[in-house]
């Protein structure tokens, strides 16, 4: 529908607006994501704005009456326990009434399982709940709930994809907690475009948000992500909701991590760890060493204590180095950023004099973990160096530290936590940046049976590790 005679175009991924069609979005750099904006002018209202027509020129608008902050009351008991401690932890202590949480994740990672488990648990404790399923039939949901041990629950279910009908159901049933699975399957009759398009997602979310806020419902929306891990649909969705959680994990592996990307009511520093099993997701309250592979460490494998929010996890970096058969050697990274791997390889070649330019390099993080902590650099470098020499120097040893382009190993945050965690798991040696070693010595925190070794630069670390 043309907007006042003029056509306008919008990027499906980031919401970038353009007066003409483009093949490539200049904002998010994606190809083929620009489509015609079919939002009618009347529907393009501010988030959840049902009241006055702000677009109508000359319409009298009453000024809102301000309230004094001192008169505003709130109840700290307004958080709902989801029944899953790890989920509560990521939310900042439970679901907040009248808030909207978006849970994103790749297909099959377990979003529907997690949220159904939470709903079943809440329903079991007398919280009024509702599941809106636009993706699965009632019998499919029943099948999953039987697997999760909640086949006879009184959980109410609506299989509906039209937003106006969902809003009517919410207003009539007045649940305390509601899950909508998924936001991309919903559509609104106010918009002419197909479900999942930018205009539809924006409109659907605005309507649901308004209903949740005015009725005090804790609403959870499920959102799909693209292969790059971005939420499919406009980034504006992330701005509209109160919290964005991302559910990550390798489908071939049992462990899943729930991470807060944004949270208006809690820290974004917390992660929740789960294990996918036959009977659903099992919480892992002490996840420090679940990502380590069993048995002896081999050549090309080094352990790093990484920070995941306020927790410390032990991750195993595995590397394989082999002579290349190609003109351009391969650099394959799973669980670490590929550009970071290229940088570490270049630093190893130049600063530690390892001739890696004719080698294919493969790096993998065991257990499907994705490392974002820069302090993992040293372990990646040592795993590559160990794989190159085919030595097993990683045995009984952990390492952490960020590597700079000059080859220096830089200070890492919270070294006491990292050292303690490695010691708890029985590591006897840990290579740490010089300043971290000084800090540990000053604080007198060296755990018994552990040797803390300060490394100056990458060449020094490689030398120590080959002894």
What residues line the site for ligand ATP (CB under 6 A)? 105, 107-113, 135, 147, 251, 276-278
Q: Residue 464 CA to chain centroid, in angstroms? A: 36
Residue 113 contact partner, candidates ligand ATP, Mg ion, none, CB within 5 to 8 A by sort of partner: ligand ATP
What is the smallest separation between the CB atom of 247 and ligand ATP, expressed in angstroms? 7
- Would you call 79 helix, strand, or coil by DSSP? strand
DSSP codes of every residue in 133-202: ESSS-HHHHHHHHHHTT-TT---EEE---BHHHHHHHHHHH--SEEEEE-GGG-B-TT--SPTTSHHHHH
Residue whose CB is less far from ligand ATP, 143 or 456:
143
Query: At its nearest, how many Å lie between Mg ion and the CB of residue 115?
Result: 8
Question: Concatenated DSSP letters for 396-458?
Answer: TEEE--EEPTTSBEEP-S-HHHHHHHHHHTT--EEEEEHHHHHHHHHHT-PPTT-EEEEE-BH
Please, which of residues 88-117 interact with Mg ion by CB under 5 A?
112
* CA trace torsion 367, 275, 262, 116 (10° rounding): 150
Residue nearest to Mg ion (CB): 112
Q: How far apart are CA 134 and CA 160, in angstroms?
A: 5
Measured distance CA(74)–CA(3) in Å, rounded: 42
Judged by CB, which is closer to Mg ion: 33, or 113?
113
Choose between 63 and 277: whose C-beta lies nearer to ligand ATP: 277
| 350 binds, options ligand ATP, Mg ion, none, Cβ within 5 to 8 A by partner type | none
- Closer by beta carbon to ligand ATP, 80 or else 258: 258
Three-class secondary structure of residue 312 per DSSP = strand
From the list 286, 258, 290, the residue with the least C-alpha distance to 272 is: 258
Q: Nearest distance from residue 258's CB to Mg ion, in Å?
A: 15
16 φ/ψ angles, rounded to the nearest 5 degrees: -60, 135
Q: Out of Mg ion, ligand ATP, none, which partner does residue 295 contact, by CB within 5 to 8 A per kind?
A: none
Partner touching 125 among Mg ion, ligand ATP, none, CB below 5 to 8 Å by kind: none
Return the one option of ligand ATP, Mg ion, none that residue 188 interacts with (CB less than 5 to 8 A, by type): none
195 binds, among ligand ATP, Mg ion, none (CB under 5 to 8 A by kind): none
Q: Show contacts with Mg ion in window 226-245 (CB under 5 A).
A: none
CB of 162 to Mg ion, least distance (A): 19
Q: How far is the CB of 358 from ligand ATP (least distance, A)?
A: 40
Output the smallest distance, CB 130 to ligand ATP, in A.
Answer: 18
Residue closer to ligand ATP, measured from CB, 257 or 462: 257
DSSP, collapsed to helix, strand or coil, labels residue 331 as strand
- Closest approach, Cβ 281 to ligand ATP, in A, equals 9
Count of Cβ atoms closer than 10 Å to residue 274 Cβ: 25
Residue 107's binding partner out of Mg ion, ligand ATP, none, with CB under 5 to 8 Å set by partner kind? ligand ATP
For residue 447, the 8-state DSSP code is P
Using alpha carbons, select from 399, 325, 389, 395 the residue that is nearest to residue 359. 325
Joined together, the tokens standing for residue 284 give 């892992």
If the CB atoms of residues 111 and 311 are measured against ligand ATP, the closer one turns out to be: 111
Shortest separation between residue 111's beta carbon and Mg ion, angstroms: 5
Question: Got the DSSP string for 405-421?
Answer: TTSBEEP-S-HHHHHHH
For residues 265 and 6, give the distance between their C-alpha atoms in angstroms, rounded to a whole number: 41
CB atoms within 10 A of CB 434: 17
Comparing CB distances to Mg ion, the nearer of 140 and 406 is 140
State the binding partner of 294 from Mg ion, ligand ATP, none, CB within 5 to 8 A by kind.
none
Task: Give the residue with the Cβ less far from ligand ATP, 50 or 251.
Answer: 251
Q: Which does 278 bind (CB under 5 to 8 A by kind): Mg ion, ligand ATP, none?
A: ligand ATP
Smallest gap from Cβ 147 to ligand ATP, in A, equals 6
Name the residues that contact Mg ion, by CB under 5 A: 112
């Amino acid at each position: 529908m043309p907007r006042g005679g003029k056509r306008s175009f919008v990027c499906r991924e980031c919401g970038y607006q353009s007066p003409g069609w483009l093949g490539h979005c200049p904002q998010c750099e994606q190809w083929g994501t620009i489509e015609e904006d079919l939002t009618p002018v009347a529907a393009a209202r501010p988030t959840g704005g049902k009241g006055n027509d702000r677009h109508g020129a000359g319409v009298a608008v009453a000024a809102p009456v301000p309230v004094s902050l001192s008169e505003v009351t709130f109840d700290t008991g307004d958080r709902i326990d989801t029944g899953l401690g790890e989920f509560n932890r990521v939310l900042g202590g439970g679901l907040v009434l009248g808030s909207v949480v978006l849970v994103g994740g790749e297909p099959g990672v377990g979003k529907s399982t997690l949220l159904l488990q939470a709903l079943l648990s809440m329903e079991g404790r007398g919280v009024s709940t509702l599941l809106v399923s636009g993706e699965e039939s009632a019998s499919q949901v029943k099948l999953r709930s039987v697997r999760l041990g909640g086949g006879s629950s009184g959980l109410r279910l609506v299989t509906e994809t039209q937003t106006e009908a969902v809003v009517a159901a919410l207003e009539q049933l007045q649940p305390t907690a509601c899950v909508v699975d998924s936001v991309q399957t919903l559509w609104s009759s106010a918009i002419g475009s197909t479900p999942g398009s930018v205009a539809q997602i924006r409109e659907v979310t605005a309507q649901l948000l308004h209903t949740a806020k005015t009725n005090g419902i804790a609403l959870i929306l499920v959102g799909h992500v693209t292969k790059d891990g971005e939420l499919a649909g406009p980034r504006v969705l992330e701005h509209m909701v109160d919290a964005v959680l991302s559910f990550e994990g390798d489908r071939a592996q049992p462990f899943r991590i729930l991470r807060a990307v944004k949270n208006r009511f809690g820290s974004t520093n917390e992660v929740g760890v789960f294990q996918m099993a036959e009977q659903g997701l099992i919480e892992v309250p002490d996840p420090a060493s679940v990502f380590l592979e069993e048995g002896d460490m081999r050549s090309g494998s080094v352990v790093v204590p990484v920070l995941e929010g306020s927790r410390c996890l032990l991750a195993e970096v595995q590397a394989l180095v082999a002579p290349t058969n190609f003109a351009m050697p391969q650099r394959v990274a799973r669980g670490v950023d590929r550009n970071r791997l290229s940088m570490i390889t270049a630093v190893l070649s130049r600063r530690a004099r390892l001739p890696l330019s004719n080698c294919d390099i493969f790096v993998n993080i065991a257990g499907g973990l994705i490392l974002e902590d820069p302090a993992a650099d040293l372990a990646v470098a040592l795993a590559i160096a160990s794989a190159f020499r085919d030595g097993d120097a990683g045995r009984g040893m952990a390492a952490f530290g960020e590597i700079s382009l000059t080859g220096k190993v830089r200070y890492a945050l919270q070294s006491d936590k990292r050292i303690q965690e490695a010691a708890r798991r029985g590591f006897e040696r840990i290579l740490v940046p010089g300043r971290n070693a000084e800090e540990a010595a000053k604080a007198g925190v060296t755990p018994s049976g552990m040797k803390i070794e300060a490394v100056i630069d990458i060449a020094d670390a490689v030398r120590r590790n080959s002894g």
